[in-house]
Structures are given as structure tokens and as C-alpha cells.
Amino acid sequence: MSRFDLDEFIGEVRSANSEAGQSGVMAVLQRALTDNDSIIEALGEPSEVGPLPIYQSSNLTILNVVWSPLMVLLPHDHKMWATIGIYTGREDNIIWKRQSETIKAAGAASLSEGDTFSLPEDAIHSVVNPVKRMTGAIHIYGGDFFATQKSEWDPEDLTERPMDFEEKKRQFRQAQDRFDTDSR
């Protein structure tokens, strides 16, 4: 893949997932991120906040995740592996580990343009866009992201609870509204 072609990328990710799983998908994503400008040409300049579906099947989901400036997402899991690649902006991740009935911070990863990051199936992480512009990232999951029930952790006491997808949609809409208001 020279310049980023969305259909070609999807085909390569699907093939890599079938042949080598997460490590193969990571290699495809790393190659794609060598030309971030062509990714922006293909996907558009990030302007709509949210997890925007690119491809979805029972064993693979590819999303264009756009974070608004200074957006925060609570600690959560995916119940499947994830591979993340930043094509514009920044994404800071805090990695959490289970500790009896709660979680505790166990590490961090700060991702900038061109960086990739993998999370195993049992990972728990929170996400912050620390910059005052939109961040665009390709997130690839080893399963059907939207059909899998996930957990999140309460920000006050760090206890686990089922993720409320409707609340997440509201959170992304509110972030979009803040961005739209601040952009005027």
C-alpha cells in the first residue's frame, strides 16, 4: 500500500487478521501510518466526534475514532484486543489493572501522529485527547465492537459497572457540541 486507499486497507486488515491476528493487523496499520496526509484525504479532516465505523464483522471492527479537544473517556474495557494508530493529534492512555473490586493505574502510553499501540483482550484503559484540536485515530478491534457488552469504571470509586452505550453516545454528542461552539 503506497498512498492510503480505504478499500485496500480494509482488505489488508481482514487478510492480516485471518492469517496472523493482532500482530498482523498491527503491521498493516503501521504501514498505513507512514502517510498520514493520505489517510486524512481518504477519511476527511477530523470534524465529527465519535467512533465512526469503517468496517464491522463478527471477528473484526475498524473505526475512525475522532476525539474532540480535551475530551476524556472513563476507564473501560473492550473484551477483545485493540490496535490503535494516530493519524493526527494526540491520544493519551492510562492503563489500569484490576485490584480486588476496583482498579488502579498501572501504566500510560502517550500516542502522537504516526504512533501505534496494542491492547490485549483483557486490557482496561482510559483515554484523553490532551490537545486543543481534534485527534483522529484508526482503532481496530478483534471482534464486533458494537455487539460486545463492555464495562466501565466509576470515576469516583473506581468500581466496575456495565457500560451504558447511550450515555457514551451522549458524551460524544456533547463533545461535538462543545467543539462546534468553540469553533465559531
What DSSP assignment string belongs to 70-85? T-EEEEEE-SS-EEEE
* 101 residue type, one letter: E
Residue 116 C-alpha cell reads as 501505534
Residue 70 C-alpha cell reads as 480535551
Nearest CA to 74 among 1, 15, 182, 158? 158
Looking at domain 48-169, which CATH architecture does it have? Sandwich (2.60)
Which pLDDT tens digit goes with each residue over 50-80? 999 999 999 999 999 999 999 999 999 999 9
Q: Which residues are CB-neighbours of 54 under 8 A, at least 6 positions away?
A: 6, 10, 62, 63, 64, 138
pTM, whole model, 2 decimals?
A: 0.93
Which pLDDT tens digit goes with each residue over 90-130? 999 999 999 999 999 999 999 999 999 999 999 999 999 99
Q: Kindly list the strands in the beta sheet with 124-128, ordered across the sheet, starting from the edge strand earlier in the chain.
A: 102-112, 90-99, 124-128, 72-77, 151-153, 160-162
Which pLDDT tens digit goes with each residue over 156-179? 999 999 998 888 888 888 888 888
Domain spans, the chain: 48-169
Q: What is the pLDDT of residue 6?
A: 97
Residue 55 C-alpha cell reads as 468496517
- Give, in order, the Cα–Cα distances in Å from 39 to each of 43, 90, 139: 6, 16, 13
Q: What is the pLDDT of residue 53?
A: 96
